[in-house]
């Protein structure tokens, strides 16, 4: 479905482009100045024929878009405002570098002191310990110091030369892992002062899962929660499934589309949005915890899974695993559908994934199929 959103568009149409319909339900109009995006309902979102309610929130530095099918608009509006209240709290408590529950906990972990974890942060720690283990340590939210060292610990894009090899090696040698963290009831302690938590690789997935739980509590069974192209879709769009786009790793709109099946999270990790560039070399914001270096060989990874947090963590872990090891890590993390795209545009995926996606705007130059091991 190329065409409508040209090169350089910051907000490609990754949600919903139903076949046979005029492509998209929402048009984003960017004001001449300023970053606020104004949504214009084109197809009468709440009419009898199209009981589709859409609303956007700007949180986590991204636009989160809700598409709700088949609910009264009052019910939908109330459900989204319940989610909005949760999101405000997550944004404050989960932030890795702005003062809040997580920065306070990180201070205690670095000092070797036991700390009481905020009830909003504790489940992130517990779940990420498990995902750390299953990913063979490739998903490692304990490497907050390395992330900060590379400058991905800020809202601004880092500039200047990369950190010195020695500083990187020193931090890697201190080997911060999720296994260093002991959790007893709500008391948390780290045996390794080099541990610093950064949940950037899966907080979005976790937040989307909470949003879906909240929507269901409010009686919403058919919806998409889409945070900047990472999304979870539940139920159906009336008579047919939801159909969503997978972002192109080079930021050129949509690479492929997927029809979701009851409850699917579609998450893509890529190096096109956040990276560091120096003398023409681009460094991805995804760090290989084994070397302390940004991942080079992978442009993006897309995972489909029922749980958003797991999909998010896995997309990051498979980026680190790369074309040689993604099969094993996907299997260990319980993922059934995965696709990697490298810098040349070569696609690596398992046949089950191939059965679920359709490339939009032309096939990739090469596809390498591999079964999960």
Q: Is 14 in the site for ligand ADP (CB under 6 A)?
A: no
Q: Is 312 in the site for ligand ADP (CB under 6 A)?
A: yes
Considering only the stretches 82-90, 107-115, 282-290, 347-355, report the one whose residues sit in contact with ligand ADP under the rule CB under 6 A: 282-290
Nearer Cβ to ligand ADP, position 187 or 328? Answer: 328
- Contact letters for ligand ADP, residues 53-72 (x by CB under 6 A): --------------------
Task: Candidates 140, 226, 307, 350: give the one binding ligand ADP (CB under 6 A).
Answer: 140
Task: Candidates 320, 321, 329, 333: give the one binding ligand ADP (CB under 6 A).
Answer: 320
C-beta of 300: minimal distance to ligand ADP in Å? 8
H or E element that contains 333 = none
Half-sphere exposure of 334 (CA within 13 A, CB side): 13
State the Cα–Cα distance between residues 295 and 338, nearest whole angstrom: 18
Nearer Cβ to Mg ion, position 93 or 312? Answer: 312
Give phi and psi for 46, each to the nearest 5: -110, 15
Laid out side by side, the sheet with 115-116 consists of 115-116, 187-190, 181-184
Looking at beta carbons, which residue is closest to ligand ADP?
200
Question: In this structure, which long-range contacts are made by residues 245-248, counting pairs with CB atoms below 8 Å and at least 24 apart in sequence?
Answer: 245/1, 245/12, 245/13, 245/14, 245/15, 245/17, 245/360, 246/14, 246/302, 246/339, 246/357, 247/12, 247/14, 247/272, 247/300, 248/12
C-beta of 272: minimal distance to ligand ADP in Å? 8
Question: How far from the centroid of its chain's Cα atoms is residue 323's Cα?
Answer: 20
Task: Candidates 200, 245, 253, 292: give the one binding ligand ADP (CB under 6 A).
Answer: 200
Helix axes 122-134, 308-332, angle to 10 degrees: 20
Considering only the stretches 140-148, 232-240, 328-336, 353-361, report the one whose residues sit in contact with ligand ADP under the rule CB under 6 A: 140-148
SS3 at position 283: strand
Task: Candidates 106, 226, 269, 350: give the one binding ligand ADP (CB under 6 A).
Answer: 269
Residues at the interface with ligand ADP (CB under 6 A): 138-141, 147, 152, 198, 200-201, 230, 269-270, 273-274, 285-287, 289, 312, 315-316, 320
């Amino acid at each position: 479905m190329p065409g409508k959103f040209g090169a350089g568009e910051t907000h490609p149409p990754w949600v919903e482009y139903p076949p046979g319909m005029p492509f998209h339900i929402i048009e984003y109009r960017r004001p001449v100045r300023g970053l606020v995006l104004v949504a214009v309902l084109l197809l009468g979102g709440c009419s009898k024929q199209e009981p589709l309610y859409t609303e956007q929130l700007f949180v986590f530095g991204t636009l989160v878009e809700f598409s709700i099918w088949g609910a009264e608009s009052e019910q939908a509006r109330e459900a989204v405002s319940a989610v909005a209240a949760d999101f405000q709290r997550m944004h404050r408590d989960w932030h890795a570098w702005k003062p809040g529950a997580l920065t306070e906990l990180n201070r205690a972990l670095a000092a070797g002191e036991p700390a009481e974890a905020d009830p909003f942060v504790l489940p992130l720690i517990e779940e990420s310990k498990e995902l750390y283990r299953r990913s063979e340590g490739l998903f490692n939210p304990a490497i907050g110091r390395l992330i900060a060292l590379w400058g991905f610990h800020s809202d601004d894009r880092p500039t200047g030369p990369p950190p010195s090899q020695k500083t990187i090696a020193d931090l890697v040698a201190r080997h911060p892992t999720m296994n260093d963290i002991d959790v007893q009831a709500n008391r948390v302690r780290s045996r390794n002062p080099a541990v610093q938590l950064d949940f950037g690789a899966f907080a979005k997935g976790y937040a989307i899962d909470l949003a879906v739980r909240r929507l269901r509590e409010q009686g919403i069974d058919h919806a998409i929660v889409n945070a900047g192209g990472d999304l979870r879709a539940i139920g159906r769009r009336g008579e047919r499934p939801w159909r969503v786009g997978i972002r192109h790793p080079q930021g050129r709109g949509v690479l492929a589309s997927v029809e979701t099946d009851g409850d699917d999270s579609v998450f893509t990790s890529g190096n096109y949005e956040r990276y560091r560039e120096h003398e023409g070399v681009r460094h991805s914001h995804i760090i290989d915890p084994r070397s302390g270096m940004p991942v080079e060989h992978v442009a993006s990874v897309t995972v489909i899974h029922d749980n958003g947090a797991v999909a998010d963590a896995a997309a990051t872990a498979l980026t680190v695993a790369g074309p040689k090891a993604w099969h094993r890590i996907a299997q260990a993390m319980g993922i059934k559908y995965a696709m990697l795209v490298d810098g040349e545009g070569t696609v690596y995926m398992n046949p089950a994934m191939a059965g679920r996606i359709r490339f939009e705007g032309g096939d990739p130059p090469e596809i390498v199929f591999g079964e999960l091991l």
